[in-house]
Chain A
Amino acid sequence: MGGKRTRDYSAEEPSEERLVEAARRGDPKALEQIVLQHQKMVYNLALRLTRDTDEAAVVMQETFLKVFAALSRFRSRSHLKTWIYRIATNEALQRLRHRGRRTFVDLDDLEADPERDFGYVAQRLDRSAHDLLEDRELRDRLEGAIGRLPPKHRAAFVLVDIERLPLREAADAAGISVAALKTNLHRARLFLRDSLAAYMEGGKDGG
């Protein structure tokens, strides 16, 4: 990409439109700025979806390669971030589905467990999240539970509850309808809450 006109985008905050326009022309500073602005988001999304640092790195590479290759087709009506989310999610889910020999929990018939004492759990959760997360075992439990979610449920949870995308954008990124996303999200939340409840009740039956 040598010989292209460049400007120092690190010293200022250009509008997204100007940045994309410069990146389309192959300006390496603009391309680098897009990487720097979005790599952490892409890496963490990929890490949460694949649960594997090597795969997350590959997903990140493939995502930016596809983003740059398709920049000319990007419509500035949608946010660059949302568009990158969509490409990264698709890339991570493809890898997750092709991994094979993985066992995920079956959530299709999941309902809240009537035997669980959610009053007790609610009471235990009545402390600051940061205090609770000082418990290393609890953090491992939370991370491990995400790893047991099937890909479609995991994507719904990560996109909406961790990345905080609006439902419409999350459904777009996951390539499903809003109604399907809501169903997947609900089941993912119940499973994660029940897994936490099992841990808090001192049982080890939740995974």
Chain B
Amino acid sequence: MGDSQECREVLRRICAEAGKSVDSAFCRRVARHLEECAACRAQAVSLRGTLELYRCLEAEEVPEEITRDLKKRLGLLTPQEPSSSS
């Protein structure tokens, strides 16, 4: 396993999800294996890259009319706020 930021991040994630610290025997074994096994390294890096893409998809703003309908349903519309059906 290389020493790049990405490799460290892949290892950190694997260890965190296994509930182990990065300096545990488990994580040292994982690191050693990833160092030697190109196939597992590609699996781990491609998984991490996929998750990174999904995380960068932007969250949508709530459309104004949906907020208005919600507040109307909850009885929170002030007199100055027209409901979307009016």
Residues of A within 8 A of B (CB): 1, 28, 31-32, 35, 39-40, 43-44, 47, 53, 57, 60-61, 64-65, 68, 112, 118-119, 121-122, 125-126, 129-130, 132-133, 138-139, 142-143, 146, 157, 161-162, 164, 167, 182, 189-190, 192-193, 196-197
Contacts and interface: CB of A to CB of B under 8 A. Distances in A.
Contacts of B54: 142, 146, 157, 161-162, 192
A40 B17 contact: no
Interface in B21-68: 38-39, 41-43, 45-47, 49-57, 59-63, 66-67
Secondary structure at the A interface, as helix, strand, loop or mixed, is helix
27 contacts: A28-B75, A32-B71, A39-B62, A60-B70, A61-B74, A64-B73, A65-B74, A68-B74, A118-B42, A119-B39, A119-B42, A121-B42, A121-B46, A122-B42, A125-B49, A125-B50, A126-B49, A129-B52, A129-B56, A132-B53, A142-B57, A164-B55, A167-B17, A192-B54, A193-B46, A193-B50, A197-B46
The 7 closest A-B pairs by CB, nearest first: A125-B49, A118-B42, A122-B45, A129-B56, A119-B42, A193-B50, A121-B46
